[in-house]
Structure 1
Amino acid sequence: MFSGPSRRRESVTDQIKHLILTEGLRPGDLMPTEAEICARLEVSRSSVREAMRTLAALDIVEVRHGHGTYVGQLSLAPLVEGLVFRGVVDQDDSVAALREVVEVREALDLAMAEQIVAALDGTHDPELEQLVAAMTAKAARGEAFAAEDLAFHTRLLGYLDNALVGQLVAAFWEVNTIVYPMLGLAPAEDIVDTAHAHGAMLEAAASGDAARYREAVIEHYLPLRRALDKAATRR
């Protein structure tokens, strides 16, 4: 995927990516030494070090000083950092940027509706039920339930044979959670509705009702959408 007309035209960064692929290295595997990479790619040490800094920022490699360089975990942390910065760098469009993140979260949840329902149909998950109960209780006391919210979605999506979807949802959730208070936005007023929507999602999935599950997903995001709409009118 990184091939081109000539390997000499590729950046050192791309050549190191190609090296990882051709060697079949996996996250956590030890990479060749700096000297070995220089010799194999026929490039200078300074070029390799600069490329490694770039790759480390992308979580493609992890430099452990005194131990060597390893293939990174390939997480979505760089995506989260970029989206957080995007959400706060321009105060005039910050609410609009955050709304886009929420819309992507909702779209992912809706897109996975059929698969989620198929996976949970007829099941009983005490952990998900406990999370719903905790969210409901906290909402009734007017308390936020961010940790339980993330745990609920993470476990729900864990039923899917698609790790990337879970990572994307968690990444966008994290952006939402970080940016929202940074912008000084007021918390959603009707968090009780959000808590109840989680319960409705679980009930619909366990009963095999995809249509009701999608309705519950939309209900889940309505309080947050209303809060963002209110914030937008004040700016």
Structure 2
Amino acid sequence: MAVEQGAVRPVAAAPRTARQPLRQEVVDGIKSYILRNQLRPGDPLPAEPALCEALGASRSSVREAIRILTALDIVEVRHGHGTYVGRLSLSALVESLAFRGLLSPDDDFQVMSDLVEVRELFERGMAERLVNSLDAGRIERLQLLVDAMREAGGGAGHGFVDADRTFHTLLVSPLGNDLIGQLSTAFWDVYVIVAPHLDVFTHEHEAATIATHQRIVDAVRERDAAAFAAALEDHYAPVRHRIAEARARR
């Protein structure tokens, strides 16, 4: 489907099979429209009647497809205004991983362990780039976040958790890679959702957590990639240990 002088042309849809119901065909048609017209987040989509005509689908099918795409954050419905390209975030990934961790006693600790490993791989694997690309302004903000963690107290408290989350988001921000930033934030969001149910947040590790964050900031100030990687390793090791302890208790 493409736009030409304000008109929406029909999409040449692939032949439907038993495994590809009309609903999926309409979903694919809307995604095809977005791609072919190189739309960006926030750009408007055609009104519902125009989509129905272009896709050869009923209003109910188009509405169902819009609901599916909204859940995936591919489109956004603004009531009273229309339908727009969504933020294309990883919110669906967060929901899926978090629900998996909460639902299955066999999977929850594995989900946590995997998330911690991936977050550490992101940050340690790019140690050299990060210590050389974090500017003075970001370093000062990282320090302020460590100070906020000290003031908040209580590793399970919202102030502490929010400062910790922002710290790690800011840490990878100089890379200029939206996907890495979104993945880092998504993994942290899942961790925060699942961790309280696994009883892995403990007050006794609060001081050690703050200390390793301070070491990370100090290493960045000194542009010392080796010290930066070592601080990250020491930061994540107790988290993995607490997950293993919680798993053993179950």
Relative to the length of structure 1, the TM-score reads: 0.88
Matching residue of 1:3: none
Q: What amino acid sits opposite 2:165 in the alignment? A: L
Out of 7, 22, 29, the position equivalent to 2:13 is 7
Q: Percent identity?
A: 46
- Over 3 Å counting, the alpha-carbon distance change for 1:186 and 1:125 in structure 2 is closer
Task: Judge which range, 181-190 or 150-159, deviates more.
Answer: 181-190
Q: For the residues of structure 1 that align with 2:139 and 2:101, how far apart are their CA atoms?
A: 36
Q: Are the aligned partners of 1:136 and 1:196 in contact in 2 as well (CA < 8 Å)? A: no
Q: Are the aligned partners of 1:60 and 1:74 in contact in 2 as well (CA < 8 Å)? A: yes
Q: For the residues of structure 2 that align with 1:134 and 1:225, how far apart are their CA atoms?
A: 24
Out of 213, 219, 230, the position equivalent to 1:215 is 230
Partner secondary structure for residue 76 of structure 2 = strand
Matching residue of 2:245: 230
Matching residue of 1:167: 182
Unmatched tracts of structure 1, length 5 or more: 1-5
Q: What amino acid sits opposite 2:112 in the alignment? A: L
Matching residue of 2:22: none
Deviation by residue 1:31-55 (Cα, 9 ceiling, x = unmatched): 1011111222222222211211110
Q: For the residues of structure 1 that align with 2:70 and 2:38, how far apart are their CA atoms?
A: 19
Task: Judge which range, 116-125 or 98-107, deviates more.
Answer: 116-125
Matching residue of 2:7: none
Matching residue of 2:216: 201
Out of 206, 229, 234, the position equivalent to 1:191 is 206
- Over 3 Å counting, the alpha-carbon distance change for 1:152 and 1:124 in structure 2 is closer
Task: Judge which range, 77-86 or 101-110, deviates more.
Answer: 101-110
Partner secondary structure for residue 175 of structure 2 = coil
Matching residue of 2:4: none
Q: Are the aligned partners of 2:130 and 2:174 in contact in 1 as well (CA < 8 Å)? A: yes
Query: Do residues 152 (structure 1) and 167 (structure 2) align?
Result: yes
Give the deviation of 1:188 after TM superposition: 6.0
Q: Are the aligned partners of 2:94 and 2:187 in contact in 1 as well (CA < 8 Å)? A: yes
Give the deviation of 1:124 after TM superposition: 7.1
Query: Do residues 66 (structure 1) and 80 (structure 2) align?
Result: yes
Q: What amino acid sits opposite 1:17 in the alignment? A: K
Give the deviation of 1:93 after TM superposition: 3.1
Give the deviation of 1:63 after TM superposition: 1.4
Deviation by residue 1:98-145 (Cα, 9 ceiling, x = unmatched): 111111111111222222112027777322111122324545x77741
| Superposition RMSD in Å | 2.2
Matching residue of 1:109: 123
Out of 133, 136, 141, the position equivalent to 1:127 is 141
Out of 182, 189, 192, the position equivalent to 2:197 is 182
Give the deviation of 1:59 after TM superposition: 0.5
Matching residue of 1:33: 47
Unmatched tracts of structure 2, length 5 or more: 1-11, 17-24
Task: Judge which range, 40-49 or 17-26, deviates more.
Answer: 40-49
Give the deviation of 1:73 after TM superposition: 0.8
- Over 3 Å counting, the alpha-carbon distance change for 1:93 and 1:143 in structure 2 is closer
Q: For the residues of structure 1 that align with 2:156 and 2:95, how far apart are their CA atoms?
A: 27
Q: What amino acid sits opposite 2:167 in the alignment? A: F
- Over 3 Å counting, the alpha-carbon distance change for 1:35 and 1:94 in structure 2 is same
Q: Are the aligned partners of 1:188 and 1:226 in contact in 2 as well (CA < 8 Å)? A: no
Deviation by residue 1:78-108 (Cα, 9 ceiling, x = unmatched): 1110010010111233222211111111111
Give the deviation of 1:205 after TM superposition: 1.9
Q: Are the aligned partners of 2:48 and 2:62 in contact in 1 as well (CA < 8 Å)? A: yes
Partner secondary structure for residue 179 of structure 1 = helix
Q: For the residues of structure 1 that align with 2:14 and 2:155, how far apart are their CA atoms?
A: 61
Task: Judge which range, 55-64 or 101-110, deviates more.
Answer: 101-110
Relative to the length of structure 2, the TM-score reads: 0.83
Give the deviation of 1:184 after TM superposition: 3.9
